[in-house]
Structure 1
Amino acid sequence: MADKARIAILISGAGTNMAALLYASRMADAAYEVVLVASNDPEAPGLALAALEGVPVFALSHKGMDRAGHDAAMEAAVLEAGADYIVLAGYMRILSDGFVERWAGRMLNIHPSLLPKYKGLDTFARAIAAGDSHAGASVHLVTPELDAGEVLAQAKVAIAPGDTPASLAERVRFAEHQLYPRAVSEYVARWRDPAALLARVRAAALALPETDERESHGSPGFRVGGEKSGKYFAYFADQHHGTPHIALLVRTGSMDELLNLVESQPEVYFKPAYYGASGWVGIILNRANVDWDEVAAWLERSWRGAAPKRLSRLMDIADEF
């Protein structure tokens, strides 16, 4: 698969989940490749496995370093490797808020419980003590609040009579090795998934005042101004008119602006068939690292160009506050 996402995996020990991620990345349909395995323990056994498999490794003990300094060194190694995402796989360090916030939406973790149950430690003992029928594992986005990010996928594992935390952990580990590679692959491949891309566009477009969605020429379109007099300010195009692009079509200010955007950033913008003649530009969405804040800004700008003046004036007043 072309244009695979590049992931860095952080570990602190044996790295069994790292190994599952690594070997899954060698499958033909994997959406990611492993470009670095890094650890806060130079003796972590997982480093040797990664090196044996030809993956670049980095290790730096956290002992004697403050959290921010160690995080900065780990992040520098990740950036040097060219990683798009960080995947935590048994990394036994709480990361500084700044590090986590810089990688918002691009840092994943696996936690041994069915979140939101049992955040933190001793999850299996807590599940057994509570009399739960199942334990399991959750893959989630990392946020400054511990184990509180969006849950992307889960696997349930039945709790047997007489289970101990150790025996339960052993079975959950099998589930983790199935769950984590699939969840990572699905998450990083969202930029190729028309349904996922449309969902993000729809959420941003319909968050603007007095908007609605209506199909136009077979494509989802977004309008402002009401049922009878509404005007389109955006369209979602899934490889229409023979292009390879999944794209958002929005209004520009002029044909000169459109042509300048296409010429200066052809990896981001294109002149769409039919709509381009009216000054609409296509923003390519099926590419890695789309700046969704910029997409939202384009939607608002295009909305302003189509909205009745009473609405745009209200938006201007709101912006002042």
Structure 2
Amino acid sequence: MAETPRARIAVLLSGTGTTMSALLFQSRLPQCPYEIVAVGSNDPTAFGLKVAAAEGIATFAHPHSGMAREDHEALMQASLHEHAPDYVALCGYMRILTPGFVDQWAGRMVNTHPSLLPKYKGLDTHQRAIDAGDSHGGCSVHIVTGELDDGPVLGQLAVPILPGEDEASLRRRVQMAEYQLYPHCLEELVSRPYRADWLLERVRAIALALPEAEERESHGAPAFHTGGKSGKFFAHFSETHHGSEHIAVLVKVSGQDELATLVEQFPKTWFKPAYYGASGWAGLILNRADTDWEHVAEWMHRSWAGVAPKRLAGLQRAAEQF
């Protein structure tokens, strides 16, 4: 199988860079699936910029004082794109981001928060946990959305609140947990596009959302069928099948001419699978950082429609008109 490329991470920070350093030093370990390619800040004096520069990482800074939020974000966005990151990690970046900024990194911007979300969004998380009589504080790593401290949680670590503990003590111990959790969750996130188990779950969700679709094993691998005794297969999940380097979903095409055209014009997306290719199946490659899942869904729907009974295909077309 081809070597998996390391994901490019840009970091935004406003302070000392301790959380960034946790990500950075993890990236220097063997087999870490990501690298830090740039560190940016809204404060040119942020100590974290000096730490990054000493480690040979590109840095940039744009002070926000006196600027409209959108204008400042446009500067930060332009600098980020200069370094072509795959993901953005917030590490104590003390700016509330607009939905317009976040949307450009949908699913690819992460943050850490010092509470067990959804508890205690916002500030003063440790004192709020103590005042509530909670047995544990903790931290969460989550995907950033347009809502403050919202978005899917990637991981959490609970930290016991000791008898008589004050806010400062709890904060220090939660920070230690964050330094362990954040690199782990970032590794897991950037590895997803290349993991067969995660890719299969995405394919499975798309397939089983189609009318009367069923999952059945075919030649020892997961596959999807239109259902019933007379049903037919419309997709096969292929994990490095017959020595291929690809993890893919195999879908039906109109014939050898279309298969050859797809492979020739889009060699990074399509391939002719061994065994299945001769019978009109095309391999849609999934283990890529830039997989377009809407495109995958469209082809799986087309493949389903090509073998579904007329009764089902007609009902689906009628439903799509509303």
State the match for 1:320 in structure 2: 321
Q: Report the counterpart of residue 64 of structure 1 in structure 2.
A: 66
* Structure 1 alignment gaps of length 5 or more: none
Deviations 1:34-55 (A, max 9, x none): 1110111111110000000000
Does 2:152 align with 1:150? yes
2:135 is aligned, of 133, 136, 146, to 133
Map of 1:123 onto structure 2 = 125
Distance apart, 1:313 and its partner CA: 1.5
The residue number in structure 2 matching 1:184 is 186
The SS at the match of 1:189 is helix
Q: TM-score, normalised by structure 1?
A: 0.97
Which residue of structure 2 lines up, in the alignment, with residue 295 of structure 1?
Answer: 296
Letter in 1 for 2:96: I
Matched, 1:234 2:201: no
Among 139, 156, 174, the residue aligned to 1:172: 174
From 200, 208, 211, the equivalent of 1:209 is 211
Match of 2:50 in 1: 48
Which of residues 82, 92, 95 in structure 1 aligns to 2:94? 92
Is 1:259 the equivalent of 2:236?
no
Counterparts of 1:251 and 1:62 in 2: how far apart (Å)? 53
Structure 2, gaps ≥5 residues long: none
Moved beyond 4 Å, runs of 4+ = none
Amino acid in the other structure paired with 2:73 = D
Q: Residue 183 of structure 1: CA displacement?
A: 0.6
Structure 1 CA distance, aligned partners of 2:240 and 2:4? 18
- Cα offset for 1:272? 0.3
Letter in 1 for 2:172: E
CA-CA distance at 1:249 after TM superposition: 0.5
Identity percentage of aligned residues: 59
CA deviation after TM superposition for structure 1 residue 253, in Å: 2.2
Residue range with higher mean Cα deviation, 284-293 or 124-133:
284-293
In the TM superposition, what is the alpha-carbon distance from 1:195 to its structure 2 partner?
0.6
Once the two structures are superposed, residues 147-177 of structure 1 have per-residue CA deviations (whole angstroms, 9 ceiling, x without a partner) of: 1211111111111112121111101111111
Give the letter for the 2:180 counterpart: Q
Distance (whole Å) between structure 1 residues aligned to residue 99 and residue 35 of structure 2: 26
The answer to whether structure 1 residue 195 and structure 2 residue 171 are counterparts is: no
Bigger mean CA offset, 207-216 vs 303-312: 303-312
Of 86, 107, 110 in structure 1, the residue corresponding to residue 109 of structure 2 is: 107
- 306-315 or 146-155, which moves further after superposition? 306-315
Q: CA RMSD in A?
A: 1.1
In structure 2, the partner of 1:245 is 246
**TM-score (norm. length: structure 2):** 0.97
- Give 1:22's aligned amino acid: L
**2:150 alignment partner AA:** A
Post-superposition Cα deviations, 1:112-164, rounded to whole Å, max 9, x if no partner, equal 00011111111101100111111111000111111121111111111111212
Q: Any conservation in 1 of the 2:4–2:194 contact (CA below 8 Å)?
A: no
TM-superposed deviation, 1:2: 4.4
